[in-house]
């Protein structure tokens, strides 16, 4: 009887999922962590082919940790920040884009309710209209942050979502590049937001937020609509739509700057 119980217990242990990968504080434990994480990824439904391709040659990135440890506290006032960011260059570039792409923006607004000035304001502030999307290897950065103990759980989930993007065929691992914390594309979606809100608006069968402007702007509009954007209504501070802008970025200063830039793009004071 005791032997049967022991055998059943051993069988139960062998059938249980592998223990979660352990986080670390330096590069020494990263290789072992990565091997354990690969198992977690396949258990989460990611194909073995995607896991193999995504982590080929991936190493711990001390540069990513350096950025994470040295983030500057936002100390500028709204007047200082908006005075620098709401400039003639962004206003004129956005207005020129809107003038040349009225049909595209009309289709986006018809489907999602978000007007061109708001979308181009976000686009301009996030990456200067796609000019500065970042060149960090997304999988490497996210793997480093998922292994690091400071915010391991959050980035573990973002890394799984980045693998889902690859698994769904939207792009190969070599194309998955962005900001140091894993933000992707011309309006800087985290992978979890990419999975939830990215849309194929140019009809090529892929959701490409790095290169396709229609996909970028429509996906940004879809994000805002999903948080309750009300079509045809203002977006100034105190309105329901401003509350939606704050779902895009929790910083009141940043949200107010988006609203101000959108107003200036729309030709309002």
Instruction: Dump pLDDT digits (tens) for 176-193.
Output: 999 999 999 999 999 999
Strands 177-178 and 136-137: antiparallel
40, 126, 158, 183: the active-site residue: 126
Q: pTM score, two decimals?
A: 0.87
The full set of domains in the chain, from first to last, is 19-60+142-171 (no CATH), 78-133+188-265 (1.10.530.10)
For residue 104, give every residue at least 6 positions away whose Cβ sits within 8 Å of its Cβ, in sequence order, or none.
213, 214, 217
Give the rounded distance of the alpha carbon of 99 from its chain centre.
28
Q: How far apart are the first and last CA of the chain?
A: 84
How many CB atoms lie under 10 A from the CB of residue 197?
20
Q: How confident is the model at residue 9 (pLDDT cuts 50, 70, 90)?
A: very low
Instruction: Dump pLDDT digits (tens) for 243-264.
Output: 999 999 999 999 999 999 999 9
Query: How far apart are the C-alpha atoms of 201 and 146, rounded to whole Å?
Result: 31
What tokens appear for 150 in the block? 């400071």
Contacts 24+ apart (CB under 8 A), 95-102: 95/265, 95/267, 97/129, 98/265
Which whole-number Å values give the CA distances from 7 to 2, 3, 11, 19, in the listed order? Answer: 9, 6, 6, 21
Q: Is 79 a catalytic residue?
A: no
What is the reported pLDDT for 10? 38
3-state secondary structure at position 178: strand
């Amino acid at each position: 009887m005791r032997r049967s119980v022991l055998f059943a217990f051993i069988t139960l242990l062998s059938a249980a999922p592998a223990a979660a990968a352990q986080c670390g504080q330096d590069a020494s434990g990263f290789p072992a962590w990565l091997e354990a994480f690969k198992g977690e990824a396949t258990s989460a439904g990611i194909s073995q082919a995607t896991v193999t391709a995504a982590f080929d040659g991936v190493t711990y990135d001390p540069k990513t940790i350096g950025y994470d440890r040295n983030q500057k506290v936002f100390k500028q006032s709204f007047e200082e920040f908006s005075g620098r960011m709401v400039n003639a260059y962004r206003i004129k570039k956005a207005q020129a884009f809107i003038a040349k792409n009225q049909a595209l923006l009309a289709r986006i607004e018809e489907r999602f309710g978000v007007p061109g000035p708001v979308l181009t304001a976000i686009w301009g502030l996030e990456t200067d209209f796609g000019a500065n999307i970042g060149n960090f290897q997304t999988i490497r950065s996210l793997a480093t942050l998922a292994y690091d103990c400071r915010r391991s759980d959050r980035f573990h989930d973002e890394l799984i979502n980045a693998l889902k993007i690859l698994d769904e065929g939207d792009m190969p691992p070599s194309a998955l590049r962005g900001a140091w914390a894993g933000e992707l594309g011309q309006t800087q979606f985290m992978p979890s937001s990419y999975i939830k809100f990215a849309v194929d608006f140019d009809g090529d069968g892929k959701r490409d937020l790095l290169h396709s402007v229609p996909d970028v702007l429509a996906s940004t509009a879809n994000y805002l609509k999903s948080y309750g954007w009300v079509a045809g209504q203002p977006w100034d501070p105190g309105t329901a739509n401003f509350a939606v802008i704050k779902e895009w970025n929790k910083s009141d200063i940043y949200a107010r700057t988006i609203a101000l830039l959108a107003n200036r793009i729309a030709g309002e004071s």
